């Protein structure tokens, strides 16, 4: 079968044949379709990138209809069950799972960068006690750019490698320092000999009232949650990372921009909304009335539905499983039973079945984080820590892709045609009258 598409321009009755590659046509081919020699050519209009591939990528595969998520070809469930976060991070960045030697080198590179300048501590102190942790993370990440002028040399492979380890090594420290600052607690230095998630818990809980939450089972649960959040192909924050990175801004600034995109409630903030919703529902008897309200369009079932998944989000399945191990240590959260009953009722209801609405990653993640002692304001930060790996993999792929250029979309202009400035605006007009009025 010929992998081409032929379109007829009814204005000119001319036909154009374009190749189809990977199920796409090149938007630039559309420019060949012109009504006349002076015509600019046709563009595609796609607000919110509903049907536009902005890049070719080898990192993450999603089949939303089948509920499949893979990093570099490996199923997310296998990675979450059998790998550590640093191993999965290595895979996403480098394309292959590490050999034991490569893993040691990778861990050593991360450890070297698990330190932070004293000035950064002072910088953190400048925030008010109630500053949102995402605002602190975004600003501190951007501030790190000023400490590493070499990071501007973005096309240099060695610089790319170094910046990736720097950011992955430092982001949990920035997150934990922000938290400790807001609680008025002294900063706890990283302990690089610990596992990645374990070290984060150490910096969060050591010498604090929540010290008992430094537990190996909880650290492993956090490690799994980190793996599940590493990448999700061209979502809003990955797109921000690529768009800013395409201007050759350094990776600290690009990561800050990606984190800013994640901070929005439509992206990284839904797990917080799930907890609020469960609090409002209160108990199982109130679920039918709540569902009725959702069906009448009065509210949304938060943590349900997804632009891409029209099946069970595989991450939600893993999080639900991980929750059980967490509750064995922390005691069972009442919210999990309420959430499971809510899920059961929704998945048997025609409204949700017909719209293919299933639990997404955020449905259970807030419940598990809360049980682990993490407060709602920190949830998006917990998303950002592992997602930095995905952002950096996307950034490196972009920088090294010869087809990519600075991201610069087109627009459809629907504003005024040329207009004449009113005579009352005289500044800079070199007539005697105008000069007199400006004096």
- Binding residues for ligand CMC, total number by CB under 6 A: 18
Q: Is 386 in the site for ligand CMC (CB under 6 A)?
A: no
- Give min distance, CB of 87 to ligand CMC, in A: 24
Catalytic member of 206, 267, 349, 401: 267
- 249 or 281: CB nearest ligand CMC: 281
Coil, strand or helix: which one is 19?
strand
Other C-beta atoms closer than 10 Å to the C-beta of 396 total 21
Other C-beta atoms closer than 10 Å to the C-beta of 339 total 24
For 229-268, where are the alpha helices, taking DSSP H only? Answer: 236-245, 251-262
Q: How large is the C-alpha radius of gyration of the chain? A: 25
- Give min distance, CB of 306 to ligand CMC, in A: 5
Near ligand CMC by CB under 6 A: residue from 88, 116, 270, 291: 270
Catalytic member of 306, 337, 401, 423: 306
- Give min distance, CB of 52 to ligand CMC, in A: 16
- Give min distance, CB of 371 to ligand CMC, in A: 20
In the residue annotation, 362 being an active-site residue is answered as: yes
- Give min distance, CB of 226 to ligand CMC, in A: 16
Whole-angstrom Cα distance, residue 356 to residue 388?
A: 30
Q: H or E segment at 224?
A: helix 216-228
Residues 221-240, interacting with ligand CMC (CB under 6 A): 235
> For residue 172, how far is the Cα from the chain centroid?
16
DSSP-assigned states of every residue in 131-196? --HHHHHHHHHHHHGGG-GGGG-TT-HHHHHHHHHHHHHHHHHHHHHHHHHHHTPPP----TTS-H
Whole-angstrom Cα distance, residue 104 to residue 322?
A: 27
Q: H or E segment at 326?
A: helix 314-330
Whole-angstrom Cα distance, residue 149 to residue 156?
A: 13
Q: Give the binding range for ligand CMC (CB under 6 A) out of 98-106, 151-159, 262-270, 280-288.
A: 262-270
Q: Is 70 in the site for ligand CMC (CB under 6 A)?
A: no
Other C-beta atoms closer than 10 Å to the C-beta of 255 total 31
Residue number closest to ligand CMC, CB atom = 305
Fill in the per-residue mask, 273 to 312: x = in contact with ligand CMC (CB under 6 A), - = not in contact: ---------------------x-----xxxxxxxx-----
Q: Is 360 in the site for ligand CMC (CB under 6 A)?
A: yes
Whole-angstrom Cα distance, residue 224 to residue 80?
A: 5
- Give min distance, CB of 187 to ligand CMC, in A: 30
Near ligand CMC by CB under 6 A: residue from 134, 219, 291, 357: 357
Near ligand CMC by CB under 6 A: residue from 272, 343, 362, 397: 362
Near ligand CMC by CB under 6 A: residue from 188, 361, 381, 398: 361
Whole-angstrom Cα distance, residue 28 to residue 11?
A: 20
- 163 or 316: CB nearest ligand CMC: 316
The residue ranges that bind ligand CMC (CB under 6 A) are 235, 267-268, 270, 294, 300-307, 355, 357, 360-362
* Residues identified as active-site: 267, 306, 362
């Amino acid at each position: 079968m010929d992998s081409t598409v032929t379109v007829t321009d009814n204005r000119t009755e001319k036909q154009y044949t374009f190749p189809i590659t990977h199920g796409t046509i090149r938007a630039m081919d559309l420019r060949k379709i012109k009504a006349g020699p002076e015509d600019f050519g046709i563009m595609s209009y796609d607000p919110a990138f509903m049907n536009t591939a902005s890049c070719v990528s080898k990192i993450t595969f999603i089949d939303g209809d089948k509920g499949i998520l893979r990093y570099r070809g490996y199923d997310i469930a296998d990675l979450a069950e059998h790998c550590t976060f640093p191993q999965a991070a290595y895979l996403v960045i480098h394309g292959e799972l590490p050999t034991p030697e490569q893993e040691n080198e990778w861990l050593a590179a991360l450890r070297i960068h698990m330190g932070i300048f004293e000035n950064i501590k002072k910088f953190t102190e400048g925030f008010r006690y109630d500053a949102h942790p995402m605002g602190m993370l975004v600003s501190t990440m951007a501030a790190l750019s000023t400490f590493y002028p070499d990071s501007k040399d973005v096309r240099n492979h060695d610089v790319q490698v170094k910046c990736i380890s720097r950011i992955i090594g430092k982001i949990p420290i920035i997150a934990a320092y922000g938290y400790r600052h807001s609680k008025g607690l002294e900063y706890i230095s990283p302990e690089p000999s610990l596992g990645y998630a374990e070290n984060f818990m150490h910096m969060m809980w050591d010498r604090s009232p929540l010290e008992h939450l430094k537990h190996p089972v909880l650290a492993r649960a956090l490690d799994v949650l980190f793996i599940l959040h590493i990448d999700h192909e061209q979502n809003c924050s990955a797109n921000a990372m690529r768009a800013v990175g395409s201007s050759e801004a350094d990776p600290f600034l690009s990561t800050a921009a990606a984190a800013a995109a994640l901070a929005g409630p439509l992206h990284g903030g839904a797990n917080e909304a799930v907890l609020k919703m469960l609090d409002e529902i209160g108990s199982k008897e109130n679920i039918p009335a709540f569902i009725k309200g959702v069906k009448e369009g009065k509210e949304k079932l938060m943590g349900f539905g997804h632009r891409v998944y029209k099946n069970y989000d595989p991450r939600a399945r893993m999080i639900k499983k991980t929750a059980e191990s967490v509750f064995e240590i922390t005691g069972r959260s009442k919210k999990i039973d309420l959430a499971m009953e809510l899920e059961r009722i929704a998945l048997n209801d025609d409204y949700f079945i017909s719209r293919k609405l299933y639990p997404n990653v955020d449905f259970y993640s807030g419940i598990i984080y809360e049980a682990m002692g993490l407060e709602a304001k920190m949830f998006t930060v917990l998303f950002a820590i592992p997602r930095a790996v995905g952002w950096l993999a996307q950034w490196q792929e972009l920088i090294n892709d010869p087809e990519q250029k600075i991201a610069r979309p087109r627009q459809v202009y629907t504003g005024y045609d040329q207009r004449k400035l009113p005579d009352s605006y005289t500044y800079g007009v070199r007539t005697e009258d105008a000069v007199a009025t400006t004096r």
